[in-house]
Structure 1
Amino acid sequence: MKIIRGIGNLNNEFTQCVLTLGNFDGVHLGHQQLINHLIEQGKKLNLPTVVMLFEPQPLEFFCKQQAPARLTSFKEKVMLIEKLGIDYIIAVPFTQTFANMSANTFIQDWLINKLKAKYIAIGDDFRFGHGRKGDIHLLQNYAHNHHFAVQSMPTLVWNNLRISSTAVREALLNSDFKLALCLLGRDYTIEGRVIHGNALARQLGFPTANIHLHRKKPALQGVYLVKVKNCCSNQDYQGIANIGVRPTIQGKKAILEVNLFDFSGDIYGQYLDVTFVHKLRDEKKFDSLSELKEQITQDICTAKEISAKLTN
């Protein structure tokens, strides 16, 4: 799979394509159904498959601090889409200029003239263009005269629940990881590279692997029992993870800190997959580091007890 950053970097990669576009945050089962359908059409027409993404996601651009929590970083999203078998991702920088583009201009200039899409599939709730005036009906108006096909994919439903990024966020907010699994088709996981922190946790006796979240607002907050896979060594661990701003030390930016049980070693620079199993508590500010240390000790004991129950 090849990533093309911006429509200006297309450089005649292909002469025609089949296309879908959207945010694809979380790459849940509904997204997977849409992408798998596109791949089937690509095989039928013998054309490359293209997914168009927007970065930042539109609501992150328009609403900033009020935007919904991000389920997947751009890198995680790309990895999940690549596993499905897509040929190209076009990552469109969502700027004010792009936001001002009319839906008609977007269709004529981008989808028809530049991408030469012969088949376009979108979710039934997808809107595009200035004022969100573009939809399936507008695409259909262009389709006949410009000789391409358009299809709106119906929403996927699980147990009477519409599968959506919003539904996944709600499940995670409620620490319902079983429901999140049913909506995503996989456990909810954050992947990232271990970076150097301030070494405070090590001073407290609980060394942590620190991971940047690469999102303005994570979908989880608090302390969790987690399963961890080292992507480099393929080893599995259990541990506890804190995801948040660390108010006791006046932290400002959310970060993921993972303490691996019964582990000692240097894993700086290595990539970890962190799967969230059970929420232990909310993040809170402690009056002293000794109180924080006492709480971490209790968190580890509680997590190990829960892990033992889940294993038996």
Structure 2
Amino acid sequence: MQVFRGIPTYNERPCVLTIGNFDGVHLGHQALLARLRHRAATLGLPSAVMTFEPLPREYFAQNDAPPRLTSLRRKLELLEAQGVNQVYVQPFNAAFSSLSAEDFIDRVLVRGLRARHLLIGDDFCFGKGRQGNFETLRAAGDLRGFRVEALDTVDLGGERVSSSAVRAAMLEGDMVHANMLLGAPFEVVGRVMHGDKIGRTIGFPTANIQLRQKTMPLSGIFAVTVAGGPLDHVPGAASLGVRPTIGDKLALRLEVFVLDFDGDLYHQQLRVRFWRKIRNEAKYDSLTELTTAIARDCEQVRQYFATGDNY
């Protein structure tokens, strides 16, 4: 998959294009991308995704934007897994956000990317003040030589599949529902870094996973599986949060205690899949109380995976 930073002034080859945030690459996104691949194969053109960094809501509401489901790097991984040929990562800034709908069509769609066929979600709007919509695009396409296709929302059990719905499920601690909407277990990928090694002193050495996001829509203690290095989807207990027992207002951290493993994981890149939330974070008065709580968490994780039909 080719990844480009920004939009070219002129694309050498036309493409079949879709545009969006694609946060989480959930089932709704996957349906759109499947249609994109089909159209691209039919026309003999590359499939292309245009996405944004930062996300528009992060630009307009920096202190009030919802936490992301995926970092940019993780999103690119997921798009590649969906068979996308090209991704254009457009910096969302003052200049871009001020483009009129007409300028967006001319500079981005027609000259920049040479979109031959454009697929959009049923709620897609664009241009300064969100002045452009499907009808705007269809009228422009008739004049400028590209077709526009809108896909209906994916419905799952009467619920609209969206990044907001996934985020809401995670905030409620319902990983089963969140994973259903995603179409796969929520996964965090990161390298194991050196930490303060407190877990080692209390008998629960943890892998400190480097996070590429300052905020996430979930926190607490989770039943997870871990893959990477010497591990092949091994059960573990993960803590995602700010460690209230250790300090005050610490940065978000993901720590994983891998069950029945005694080895060196430093600098390994691990993939942590979240299956079930065990409990919320809690502050304990001593490391002894914390140790007892971790032991209890690990036992619940063992019981969860002992059923054999969870992963």
TM-score range, shorter chain: over 0.9
1:86 aligns with 2:80: no
The 5 A counterparts of 1:36-185 are: 36-185=34-183
- Any idea what the Cα deviations from partners look like across 1:157-196, whole Å, max 9, x if unmatched? 1111111111111222233333223222112222222122
Please name the residue that 1:195 is paired with. 193
* The 10-residue stretch of structure 1 (112-121 or 99-108) with the greater mean CA deviation from structure 2: 99-108
TM-aligned CA deviation for residue 151 of structure 1: 0.9
Cα 1:311–1:149 shift into 2, 3 Å? closer
Greater Cα offset, 77-86 or 125-134 = 125-134
Identity %: 42
Distance 1:97 1:287 in 2: 51
SS in structure 2 of the partner of residue 112 of structure 1: helix
TM-score normalized by structure 2? Answer: 0.93
Aligned counterpart, 2:226: 228
Q: Distance in 1 between matches of 2:161 and 2:103?
A: 31
In the alignment, the residues of structure 2 paired with residue 288 and residue 130 of structure 1 have an alpha-carbon distance, to the nearest angstrom, of: 54
Q: Quick check: 1:70–1:216 contact (8 Å CA) kept in 2?
A: no
1:243 equivalent among 233, 240, 258: 240
State the match for 1:16 in structure 2. Answer: 14
Equivalent-residue separation in structure 1 for 2:250 and 2:63 (angstroms): 14
Deviation (angstroms), 1:64: 2.2
1:213 paired with 2:211, answer: yes
Partner SS for 2:214: coil
User: Which string of whole-angstrom CA distances, capped at 9 and with x for unpartnered residues, describes residues 265-295 of structure 1?
Assistant: 1112222121112211111222233322222
- Name the amino acid aligned to 1:6: G
Q: Which runs of 5+ in 2 are unaligned?
A: none
Cα pair 2:10 2:111 within 8 Å, conserved? no
TM-score, L = length of structure 1: 0.93
Instruction: Report the residue type matching 1:277 in the other structure.
Output: W
Cα drift, residue 12 of structure 1: 6.0
Q: Measure the CA separation in 2 of the matches of 1:234 and 1:127.
A: 44
Measured in 2, the distance between the counterparts of 1:58 and 1:163 equals: 20
**Shift in CA distance, 119/238, structure 1 to aligned 2, threshold 3 Å:** same
Cα deviations across residues 51-91 of structure 1 (Å, max 9, x unaligned)? Answer: 01101111122222321121111111111111111110011
TM-align CA RMSD: 1.8
Question: For the Cα contact (< 8 Å) 1:192–1:211, is it kept in 2?
Answer: yes
Q: How far apart, in 2, do the equivalents of 1:199 and 1:298 lie?
A: 20
- Give secondary structure in 2 for the equivalent of 1:64: coil
- Say which SS state the counterpart of residue 113 (structure 1) adopts: helix
Q: Which residue number corresponds to residue 266 of structure 2? A: 268
Aligned pair count?
Answer: 309
